[in-house]
Structure formats: structure tokens, C-alpha cells
């Protein structure tokens, strides 16, 4: 690269960062003045410095978070470990994480000043108040955890640069968004669960999108642009979808009704939607029209110009988001005054009596699992379509089972079970049984890993795509352990007993994170167990069919004992939750708990019985296949093995006869 070209490339990189920061600063300033975040509060006003400083520092933190996570994700899916470009990505992530850590700590301090409006001083009492805020109050704990995770990511991204290390660092970076999702208005609205999940998806999706684009800007001139942009574009489409769906959901929860659309808060939301649409159109344009022609200088010039435009639009959207977090929501969307025990415990009003029609009409959508299931169906069908286009066949029954499993996942996590599982132990147990037994049975039958390995193109340039990461996961030491039939069975059974007979069940009720962990854990534990028995996907070790049946029978027995143990409880489990709802309809809490134990004992055994039948059928088919294979081998060799065996027996018999004759003499 010539000196002038190097100078031009450096100017482009710095210009991209400058445009992002300038657009964000202009946007947050205008949005704060228009939305009212800059206006003094009637009560507990922290002063103009804190009012302005908190959104501005939050903007810096959001942009740094995007650089941190987006760089790591793009490195994992588009770059080659050991190359200079990979080091640039991790350096970008490390620097971004350092800025994120500092900005998070400062934001936490300003959040304390905004919440309690203390007089800034060096007095020990001020330090004690700040310490209490960070260690004892949920908002302060969220800021503290975010800051600490950011510090860990900073160190890991700088010092640990293998494939596995980068993956772990990226997961930690994504985890730093979880406490952030509980801050701002997401933790104040009556639709708390929907708000938290939507803002978590929104911030993670936006970070992957913006951070990846920022890394593309920084890598200009360092790597061949065509493959990098094509791979980033695929990630950007997925991120755009997540941002759009979660953004619409978040807007519905925050605005509440059509009358609030034209409030200052609503106008800022509308501005973000317009910006999102513009970025979507821009991305679609250069994906369809420019990326296939990037080898030409003219197309490349237009592409980089559009990239700078998209960076500017992202800066405007980020500034609006930072201001929106401090903008008063429309009247009527704040959490209402708590009137009932159910509202005090769950944040929502007690639902109507659980009658038969509620199985079809009552919904409580979990946007997190709706998006996950949507992507699961889309990528599965895309894989099937790719196989069909190249002339390969994929069993239709596997597609049907996979789609049914995803639909059941949406129904369990967003339908009547999710609407009533916080109030009725029996419904909670039914959902648990479906998560850990029924849904995995359908999903495992779909054989998603086998489909992915057949459908996803193999990369030959040393980078890792979906196929390479799946192969790594299947053959990793961790996978060898957890997919072993005995280990999978132990996880399955121990999880049941440990969850319901420890405070884990209480954690899943009181904390949103605990509930989502419960869904993830039991879905995975059930999937591993079912896969070890009947899965078609590759695993390092499988038991012979007799061993599978013995393992399944042992699990069935332990599962039945678990249900009976629940039924025999004389006291109420999580009494301060299920016994304090103030529910006037349905069975009493203790009777409902007895019903829940019966569900675990009886209904929970139905999928297990199906598993046993499936194992028996597979065993029979396997024996048939082995016999046919032996018959074909015998036909090819003229039954040579059998003739050799008979000849060997004849020689032994002749030897024994001669030995007997010698002894008789």
C-alpha cells in the first residue's frame, strides 16, 4: 500500500469513529432537550451536571459495549486466528471493553447521584452511602456487576487469544448486557418480563450490528474486503431482525396505547424506528447491489461511502437510545400502585380463573424464546431447502418433528402455561415436564446437527463458520463428558431433585434471571438425555441398546420417586410464594402441589414410555440391519466364513478322535 493510500485508509478509519461519536452526541442532546430528560425534576433533582452527564456517559458506554461484543463476534465468524486482522479485532475489543468498564463505573456513580441526590463530599458517610448502593440495592448491584465483567473482558481480550478463549470472552461480553437490561425503564414498567427480555435482545443485537460494522471500518486495507463484508452482512441481517422485533416489542410495552405515540417519548421512539428502517434499506441495498461487485473500484467506493452513512445513522440511533433511558415514559405506563399480593410478588395482576378455554386464549409471550424459536425454524428450513436445491433428500418426518418442537417451545414459554406457572405449582410442573421431556423428544428427532453439517458450506480459508463451530462443539472435551449416557442421565435426574428440594426453585420464582436459567437448563438437560438414547446426531459415545434400556428404566424409576416425593410433602414448597398469592379460585396451594407431584409421576412418564418404545424399535431395526449386512456379506463371499468355521470344527473333532484312539491303545 502506497503512502497516500495508507493515509487515506487511516483517515477513513478515524473518520468513521468520529462520525459515530459526533452523530451520537448530536442525537442525545436533541433527544434530551425534546423529551424532557434535560429538564429539572420537581422532586429529587440531582442538578444539571448529573442530568446531562448520565446520558452522555451512558452513550459512551453503549458505543464501547458495541465495539467490545461486535468485534469479538465478527472475529469468531469472519477472521482467522493468528492473523493480524484477528489481533486487530481483539485489540479493538480490549480497548472498547476498557472504555466500557470506565464508563460503566462512572455511570453507576452518576446513577447513585441521580437516585439519592446526596451532596458530593469526602465525608465517610458519602462513601458509606455509595457502598450501600453498590452492594445492597439491585440498581447498584447491576452497575457493579457490569463494571466487573467489563474489566474481566478487557483482560481476557488482551491476554488470551485462541479460538476457545475468544469464544469464552465473547460469552462474558454478552453476559455484561444482562444486568444492563434490568436498568432504566425496563425495570419499572408493569410488563417487567417483556421489557427486560426485549431490551436485552435489543442491546445485544444492536451491539453485534454496530460493533461489527465498526470493525469492518477499522479493517479496511488490512484484509480482502469481499469475504469479510459478506460474512458480516449475514450477521448483520440476523442482528437487524433481532433489533427490529425486540424494538417493536419494547415500544409497545413502553408506549402502552396509541394516544401516547405522540408524546415526547413516543416521538423519540418513532425517530428510532425511522432510523432503523433507513439502516435496513441501506444494508439491503449494498448487500444486493454492491457486495457482489466489490472487486470493482467504483462499487467499492460506493460501498465505503454507504458504510459511513450507516455508521452515522447508528450513532443517531444510539444517542436517541441513551436519551430515551432518561426520558419520562408516557403517563400510565409506569408500574401501577401495588394492590394485591400477586402484584407484589409477580409485578402483574392475578389472571382470571384457569378454566378450559384459558388453554387456548391466555397468552404471556416471552419474546426471548419467540425469537429463538423463530430463528430455529428459519435456519432449519433454510438448511432443508439448500439440500433439496442440490439434489439431496432430507426426511420429511424430521422437519415436521423439529417444527412441532419449536412450536411447542413457544406455546410452553409464551402460552397458558407461562401465564399461570407463577400462580399454580401444578402448571409450573407441567411446563417443567414438557421442557425437559416432551420438547427434547421432538427436537432430537429433528437431528439438527446432522442437517447443519450437511447443509452448511465448509470453509477452506482457516476461518470458522457455523459448520466449523458445530464440529468443534461436538468433538470438544466438554461435549464428550455431558453427552455420555451415564452423565446425561445423572444430570437429568439430579437436576430434578436439586431444583425442587433446594432454594433454586425459589430463585426461579423471585428472579427473572432464575426463571430463564430454569428454562435453558431443563431444556438442555432433557435434550442431552434424549439424544444419548435415540439421537441420530453424532456423539462421541453411545451405549449398546440393552444398556440404553437399562439406563432408561433406572431414570423412569427415579422420576417416579421424584413425583411421589412431591406428593408426600406435608408442607407447602416455596410457601412464601405459592401460599401468598391471594388466589381465591382453583385448588388450595397444598392440593395444587399434590396435583403437581401427580403430574410429575404420571404425565411425566408418558414421554419416557415413548422413549422406551423408540429404543426398542431402533434395537429391532438395528438387529435387522446387522442380519441383512451379514447375509449380503455371505452372498458376496460364498458363505466362506461359515465354511471356514465348519472346517475348523471338523479339524477339532478329528483331532479329538485321534487323541481318543491313542489313549485307547
What is the DSSP track for 189-228?
A: BS-HHHHHHHHHHHHHHHHHHHHHHHHHHHTTTTS-HHHH
Q: Residue 285: what pLDDT? A: 81
Higher-confidence residue: 313 or 625?
313
Q: Residue 218: what pLDDT? A: 92
Higher-confidence residue: 196 or 260?
196
Percent of residues, the chain, with pLDDT higher than 70:
90
Q: How confident is the model at residue 628 (pLDDT cuts 50, 70, 90)?
A: low
Q: How confident is the model at residue 99 (pLDDT cuts 50, 70, 90)?
A: very high
Phi and psi at 445, nearest 5°, equal -65, -25
> Which candidate, 53, 35, 95, 44, places its Cα nearest to that of 321?
35
Q: Residue 583: what pLDDT? A: 86
Q: Is 40 helix (H, G, I), strand (E, B) or coil?
A: coil
Q: Residue 188: what pLDDT? A: 47
Q: Taking residues 470-489, what's their average pLDDT?
A: 92
C-alpha grid cell, residue 108: 453507576
Q: Taking residues 295-299, what's their average pLDDT?
A: 71
Percent of residues, the chain, with pLDDT higher than 90:
48
Contact 430, 475 (CB under 8 A): no
**pLDDT tens per residue across span 70-85:** 999 999 999 999 889 9
Q: Residue 204: what pLDDT? A: 95
Return d(Cα 278, Cα 248) in angstroms, integer: 15
- Beta-carbon contacts of residue 460 (< 8 Å; ≥ 6 apart): none
**pLDDT tens per residue across span 407-457:** 999 999 999 999 999 999 999 999 999 999 899 999 999 999 999 999 999
The residue whose grid cell reads 432430537 is: 444
Most confident of 64-68, 219-223, 580-584: 64-68
> Sign (positive/negative) of CA torsion 195, 200, 205, 207?
positive
Return d(Cα 325, Cα 318) in angstroms, integer: 11
**pLDDT tens per residue across span 109-132:** 998 888 888 777 777 888 888 889
Q: Residue 171: what pLDDT? A: 96
Return d(Cα 616, Cα 613) in angstroms, integer: 5
Mean confidence (pLDDT) of the chain: 86
Terminal-residue alpha carbon distance, the chain: 101
Q: Name 334's bridge partners.
A: 189
DSSP secondary structure code for residue 328 in this structure: P
Total residue length of the chain: 665
Phi and psi at 190, nearest 5°, equal -65, -30
Phi and psi at 350, nearest 5°, equal -60, 130
Q: Residue 67: what pLDDT? A: 96
Residue 624 has pLDDT above 80, yes or no: no
Q: How confident is the model at residue 36 (pLDDT cuts 50, 70, 90)?
A: confident
- Residue by residue, DSSP assigns 557-598 as HHHHHHHHHHHT-SS-TTHHHHTTS---SSS-HHHHHHHHHH
- Beta-carbon contacts of residue 110 (< 8 Å; ≥ 6 apart): 50, 53, 54, 57
Quick one: angle between helices 138-159 and 124-136, nearest 10? 80
Q: Residue 187: what pLDDT? A: 46
Residue 376 has pLDDT above 70, yes or no: yes
Quick one: angle between helices 192-218 and 225-255, nearest 10? 160
Residue 646 has pLDDT above 70, yes or no: no
Q: Taking residues 288-311, what's their average pLDDT?
A: 79
Residue 321 has pLDDT above 80, yes or no: yes
Lowest mean pLDDT among 269-273, 401-405, 533-537, 628-632: 628-632
pTM of the model: 0.88
**pLDDT tens per residue across span 137-161:** 888 999 999 999 999 999 999 998 8
Q: Residue 147: what pLDDT? A: 95
Phi and psi at 334, nearest 5°, equal -70, 160
Return d(Cα 129, Cα 127) in angstroms, integer: 5
- Beta-carbon contacts of residue 552 (< 8 Å; ≥ 6 apart): 533, 608, 611, 612, 615
C-alpha grid cell, residue 597: 407431584
Q: Residue 311: what pLDDT? A: 93
Lowest mean pLDDT among 100-114, 188-202, 214-228, 271-285: 188-202
Q: Residue 609: what pLDDT? A: 82
Q: Taking residues 505-510, what's their average pLDDT?
A: 90
Q: Residue 326: what pLDDT? A: 83
DSSP secondary structure code for residue 337 in this structure: P
C-alpha grid cell, residue 336: 401501577
Q: Taking residues 190-199, what's their average pLDDT?
A: 77
Q: How confident is the model at residue 189 (pLDDT cuts 50, 70, 90)?
A: very low
Give the CATH class of 20-324.
mainly alpha
Q: How confident is the model at residue 20 (pLDDT cuts 50, 70, 90)?
A: very high
C-alpha grid cell, residue 257: 396505547
Amino acid at each position: 500500500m502506497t503512502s497516500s493510500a495508507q493515509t487515506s485508509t487511516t483517515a477513513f478509519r478515524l473518520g468513521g469513529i468520529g462520525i459515530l461519536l459526533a452523530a451520537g452526541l448530536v442525537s442525545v442532546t436533541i433527544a434530551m432537550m425534546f423529551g424532557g430528560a434535560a429538564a429539572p425534576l420537581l422532586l429529587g433533582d440531582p442538578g444539571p451536571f448529573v442530568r446531562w452527564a448520565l446520558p452522555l456517559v451512558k452513550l459512551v458506554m453503549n458505543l464501547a459495549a458495541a465495539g467490545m461484543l461486535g468485534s469479538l463476534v465478527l472475529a469468531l465468524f469472519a477472521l482467522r486466528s493468528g492473523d493480524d486482522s484477528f489481533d486487530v479485532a481483539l485489540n479493538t475489543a480490549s480497548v472498547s471493553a476498557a472504555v466500557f468498564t470506565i464508563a460503566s463505573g462512572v455511570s453507576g456513580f452518576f446513577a447513585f447521584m441521580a437516585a439519592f441526590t446526596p451532596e458530593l463530599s469526602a465525608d465517610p458517610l458519602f462513601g458509606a452511602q455509595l457502598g450501600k448502593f453498590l452492594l445492597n440495592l439491585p440498581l447498584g448491584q447491576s452497575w457493579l456487576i457490569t463494571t466487573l465483567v467489563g474489566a474481566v473482558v478487557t483482560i481476557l481480550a488482551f491476554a488470551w487469544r485462541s479460538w476457545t478463549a475468544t469464544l469464552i470472552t465473547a460469552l462474558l461480553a454478552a453476559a455484561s448486557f444482562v444486568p444492563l437490561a434490568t436498568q432504566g425503564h425496563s425495570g419499572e414498567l408493569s410488563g417487567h418480563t417483556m421489557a427486560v427480555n426485549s431490551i436485552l435482545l435489543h442491546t445485544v443485537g444492536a451491539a453485534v450490528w454496530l460493533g461489527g460494522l465498526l470493525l469492518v471500518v477499522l479493517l479496511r486495507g488490512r484484509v480482502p474486503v469481499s469475504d469479510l463484508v459478506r460474512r458480516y452482512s449475514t450477521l448483520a441481517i440476523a442482528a437487524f431482525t433481532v433489533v427490529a422485533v425486540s424494538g417493536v416489542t419494547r415500544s409497545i410495552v413502553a408506549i402502552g396505547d396509541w394516544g401516547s405515540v405522540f408524546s415526547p417519548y413516543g416521538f423519540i421512539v418513532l425517530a428510532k424506528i425511522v432510523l432503523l428502517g433507513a439502516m435496513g434499506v441501506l444494508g439491503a441495498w449494498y448487500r444486493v447491489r454492491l457486495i457482489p461487485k466489490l472487486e470493482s473500484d467504483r462499487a467499492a467506493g460506493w460501498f465505503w461511502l454507504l458504510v459511513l452513512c450507516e455508521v452515522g445513522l447508528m450513532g443517531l440511533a444510539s444517542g436517541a437510545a441513551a436519551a430515551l433511558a432518561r426520558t419520562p415514559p408516557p403517563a400510565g405506563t409506569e408500574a401501577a400502585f401495588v394492590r394485591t399480593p400477586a402484584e407484589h410478588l409477580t409485578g402483574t395482576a392475578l389472571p382470571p380463573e384457569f378454566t378450559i378455554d384459558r388453554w387456548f386464549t391466555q397468552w404471556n409471550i416471552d419474546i426471548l424464546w419467540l425469537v429463538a424459536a423463530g430463528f430455529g425454524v428459519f435456519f432449519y428450513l433454510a438448511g432443508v431447502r439448500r439440500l433439496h436445491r442440490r439434489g439431496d433428500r432430507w426426511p420429511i418426518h424430521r422437519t415436521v418433528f423439529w417444527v412441532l418442537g419449536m412450536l411447542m417451545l413457544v406455546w410452553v414459554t409464551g402460552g397458558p402455561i407461562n401465564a399461570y406457572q407463577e400462580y399454580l405449582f401444578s402448571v409450573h410442573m407441567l411446563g417443567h415436564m414438557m421442557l425437559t421431556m416432551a420438547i427434547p423428544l421432538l427436537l432430537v428427532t429433528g437431528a439438527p446437527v446432522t442437517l447443519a453439517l450437511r447443509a452448511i458450506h465448509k470453509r477452506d480459508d482457516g476461518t470458522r463458520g457455523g459448520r466449523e463451530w458445530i464440529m468443534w462443539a461436538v468433538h470438544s472435551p466438554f461435549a464428550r463428558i455431558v453427552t455420555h449416557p451415564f452423565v446425561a442421565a445423572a444430570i437429568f435426574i439430579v437436576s430434578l431433585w436439586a431444583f425442587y428440594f433446594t432454594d433454586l426453585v425459589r430463585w426461579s420464582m423471585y428472579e427473572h434471571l432464575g426463571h430463564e436459567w430454569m428454562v435453558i437448563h431443563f431444556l438442555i438437560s432433557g435434550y442431552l438425555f434424549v439424544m444419548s438414547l435415540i439421537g441420530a446426531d453424532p456423539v462421541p459415545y453411545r451405549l449398546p441398546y440393552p444398556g440404553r434400556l437399562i439406563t432408561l428404566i433406572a431414570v423412569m424409576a427415579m422420576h417416579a420417586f421424584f413425583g411421589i416425593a412431591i406428593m408426600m410433602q406435608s408442607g407447602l414448597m416455596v410457601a412464601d410464594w405459592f401460599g401468598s398469592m391471594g388466589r381465591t379460585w382453583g385448588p388450595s396451594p397444598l392440593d395444587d402441589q399434590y396435583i403437581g407431584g401427580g403430574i410429575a409421576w404420571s404425565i411425566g412418564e408418558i414421554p419416557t414410555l415413548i422413549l422406551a418404545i423408540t429404543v426398542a424399535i431402533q434395537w429391532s431395526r438395528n438387529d435387522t440391519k446387522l442380519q441383512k449386512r451379514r447375509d449380503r456379506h455371505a452372498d458376496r463371499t460364498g458363505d466362506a466364513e461359515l465354511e471356514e468355521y465348519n472346517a475348523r470344527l471338523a479339524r477339532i473333532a478329528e483331532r479329538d478322535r485321534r487323541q481318543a484312539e491313542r489313549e485307547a491303545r
